[in-house]
């Protein structure tokens, strides 16, 4: 049996409830039995409320995931920029054969920042 999100399950239950309500109404007409409509409406409203609660939770989780993705993208862009910068410096050192103290300090700083992310 496949697992469905809570709100999908509730939506199906509400649909089944509507079909059951129609069947009960038809049965009431043919048999003369009166089903408690108030109870059925109360149950339906509780089911709708639970569905809404599950949907709100899903929306909240989606917002959190989007924020995390946005932060990860930002970090990735920063690291890509620093990598390109380090590659340019490395190319410059390879071409000139000279390593200056500032280059070493900035590379060490970039490594520290990259590790902290």
pLDDT in tens, 36-89: 778 878 888 888 888 888 888 888 999 999 999 999 999 999 999 988 988 888
pLDDT band at 111 (very low <50, low <70, confident <90, very high): confident
pTM of the model: 0.47
Q: Where are the alpha helices (DSSP H) in the chain?
A: 6-31, 37-96, 101-116
**Residue 1 reports pLDDT greater than 50:** no
| Rounded Cα distance, 78 and 17, in Å | 53
Q: Which residue has the tokens 């109404």?
A: 25
Instruction: Please answer whether residues 86 and 58 qualify as being in contact, where contact means their C-beta atoms are separated by less than 8 angstroms.
Output: no
């Amino acid at each position: 049996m496949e697992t469905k999100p809570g709100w999908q399950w509730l939506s199906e239950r509400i649909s089944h409830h509507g079909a059951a309500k129609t069947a009960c109404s038809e049965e009431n007409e043919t048999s003369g039995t009166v089903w408690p409509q108030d109870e059925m409406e109360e149950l339906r409203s509780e089911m709708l409320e639970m569905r809404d609660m599950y949907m709100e939770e899903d929306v909240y989780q989606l917002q959190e995931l989007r924020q995390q993705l946005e932060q990860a993208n930002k970090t990735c862009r920063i690291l890509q920029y620093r990598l390109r910068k380090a590659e340019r410096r490395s190319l410059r050192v390879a071409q000139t054969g000279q390593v200056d103290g500032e280059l070493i300090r900035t590379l060490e700083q970039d490594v520290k920042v990259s590790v902290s992310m």
